[in-house]
Structures are given as structure tokens and as C-alpha cells.
Amino acid sequence: MTTGEGKFYSNGLDLEWLGSASDPGGFMDQLHRLLVRILTFPAVTVAAVNGHAFAAGAMLATAHDFMVMRSDRGYWCLPEVDLGLPPTPTMHALVSARLSHFTLHEAITTGKRYDAVAALAAQIAHKCAPESEVVPTAVALAAELSAKNHDVVATHKQLMYSDVLRMCPG
């Protein structure tokens, strides 16, 4: 299970830092490997989205098997269209594999901000809870599913996300 702190789960990448990084391609390769590692982790994963999840932060949450969003604050959003930054092919493959085509189209062409209720309706999030219950709800969900056979879970994920795996370096 992952979570953030305060009003943010993750606002994604620090674009100013990335623009000045000596090896932005190497950093992006590492980010892709992290996203794919979470996507294909051999156990059930849960994102406890305690606040805003934007851009790569939204992708990080989406890479988890399940997402519990805070019901009273925070948005899930892919704002790349407004930033003038198309997602990398690996990032696009990841969100394509996890979201319905309708939701993906709406999210990436409009940069729509989904609150917890809208994210539930769009099948981005699986549950929503008040702030004090986000982490306990995510922990309970993870605990409930922790006994699943990890070898079988890993095989299922390898099969479901084979297209994403083929796009990720190393």
C-alpha cells in the first residue's frame, strides 16, 4: 500500500528539476520501471489516495490494483494536455491498460479533474472514504486480499499487462 501526506498523494514530477537534470532519459527509464514494477507486483497493491494525484502521481496511483480515494478533498487528474506534455508511450500504455477507453479518452483529451465520487463513477477509484478512513480502508482491503496466491497473481498481471511490459526498458 502507498499513500501520501497532507493534501497530496502525489503531484507528479518536478518538471523544473527534470528540465535541468543531467540525464532526464535515465530518470524517465527509472520511473517507467517503478510504474511497471507496481503494476506487475506479485501481490495485490492498494493506493490510499489521501489527496491530489496529478500527472505521474495519478499514474502511480493507477498502477496499483486498487485505489481508495479521500472523499472530501483531492482530485485524480492527467493534466498533460494542459501542460503541453504528451505522456510517454509507457505511461500511455499503463493508463490504457487500467482505464476504460471512454474514461481514458476523457481524461487525456480534457485534463478533467476527478473528485472521489467522479473517479468512482468512471471506475478510476474502487472505494472512497473520509480522510480519517482512507488508510484504514486501504489497509483492510490489502489485508483481505493478501492471502491470494502470489505466483498466480504475478502470472495474471504478466498476462494482463504484457503490452506495458514490452514497452518498458530493462
| Helix boundaries (H) for 43-133 | 56-63, 80-83, 89-98, 101-110, 116-121
pLDDT tens for each residue of 16-51: 887 887 777 788 999 999 999 999 999 999 999 999
pLDDT tens for each residue of 120-139: 999 999 999 999 999 999 99
Cell reading at 97: 491498460
Beta bridge partners, 48, equal 3, 68
Q: What is the CATH number of the domain that holds 86?
A: 3.90.226.10
C-beta of residue 82 within 8 angstroms of C-beta of residue 110: no
Residues acting as catalytic residues: 80
C-alpha pair distances (Å), 10 with each of 99, 138, 149: 19, 17, 30
C-beta of residue 64 within 8 angstroms of C-beta of residue 2: yes
Count of residues making up the chain:
170
C-alpha 40: how far from chain center: 12
Measured distance CA(41)–CA(45) in Å, rounded:
7
Place 167 in a pLDDT band, splitting at 50, 70 and 90.
Answer: confident
How many structural domains is the chain composed of? 1
Q: Which amino acid is at 46?
A: V
Measured distance CA(58)–CA(124) in Å, rounded:
10
pLDDT tens for each residue of 90-121: 999 999 999 999 999 999 999 999 999 999 99
Cell reading at 102: 471512454
The pTM of the full predicted model, rounded to 2 decimals, is 0.94
User: Which residues span the domain enclosing 133?
Assistant: 2-167
